[in-house]
């Protein structure tokens, strides 16, 4: 198992489906645990915390995917790990996405950002020739500066930029995987 941690540089109000932390919290880091495809546990949440040992202010993703990228964008930071099986049913082939925007959103804005990211992921998969919208073990984390803006959908300037970044970056990671098989 290997661990990669990225410092976000500031504190973000975050909503996540990642293994840790659950739900809404504030974070300063994003970590990914790369496990073997044979990894199987009845308590991956506990495993994530003990394997990472990186503090309560860290989003922890877990994957058997080999490809990942951490990107600094004009709107903030983007983390993606990308693995995909032919059927999308292989839990080790996970797409994890962490979006941390330097823009003040409230909870409704974070939820809108989840929608934007999910649509962008599905678009990238379609663009890459897959007839699925994700895998069974995908996770997402969206974070922002705390604020009052409620909209971050694909019709907003922020949403458009985030969507383009996800589609391009995920497509590139999937292409790398396809070229190395």
pLDDT single digits (tens) 121-134: 999 999 988 888 88
Residue 142 or 51, more confident: 142
Tens-digit pLDDT profile for residues 66-94:
889 999 999 999 999 987 655 455 544 68
Q: What is the pLDDT of residue 86?
A: 54
pLDDT band at 151 (very low <50, low <70, confident <90, very high): very high
Q: Over range 157-180, report the average pLDDT.
A: 86
Ranges of each domain in the chain: 2-179
Q: What is the pLDDT of residue 175?
A: 79
Q: What is the pLDDT of residue 54?
A: 87
Which of 3-12, 48-57, 72-81 has the weakest average pLDDT? 48-57
Q: What is the pLDDT of residue 177?
A: 54
DSSP the chain: -EEEEEEEEEEEEEEE-SSBS-EEEEEEEEEEEE--TT---S-HHHHHHHHH---TTEEEEEE---EEEEEEETTEEEEEEE---SSS--TTS-EEEEEEEEEEE-HHHHHHHHHHHHHHHHHHHHHTT-SSS--TT-EEEEEEEE-SB---STTSHHHHHHHHHHHHHHHHHHHHHHHT-
């Amino acid at each position: 198992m290997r661990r990669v941690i990225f410092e976000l540089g500031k504190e973000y109000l975050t909503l996540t489906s990642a293994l840790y932390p659950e739900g809404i919290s504030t974070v300063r880091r994003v970590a990914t645990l790369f496990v073997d495809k044979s990894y199987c546990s009845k308590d991956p949440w506990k495993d994530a915390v003990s394997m990472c040992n990186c503090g309560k202010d860290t989003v922890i993703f877990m994957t058997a995917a080999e490809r990942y990228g951490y990107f600094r964008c004009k709107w903030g930071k983007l983390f993606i790990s990308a693995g995909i099986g032919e059927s999308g049913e292989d839990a080790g082939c996970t797409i994890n996405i962490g979006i941390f925007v330097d823009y003040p959103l409230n909870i409704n804005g974070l939820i809108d950002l989840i929608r934007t990211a999910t649509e962008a992921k599905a678009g990238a998969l379609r663009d890459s020739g897959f007839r699925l919208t994700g895998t069974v073990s995908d996770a997402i984390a969206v974070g922002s500066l705390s604020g009052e803006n409620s909209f971050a959908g694909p019709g907003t300037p922020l949403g458009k930029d985030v969507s383009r970044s996800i589609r391009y970056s995920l497509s590139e990671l999937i292409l790398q995987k396809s070229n190395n098989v």
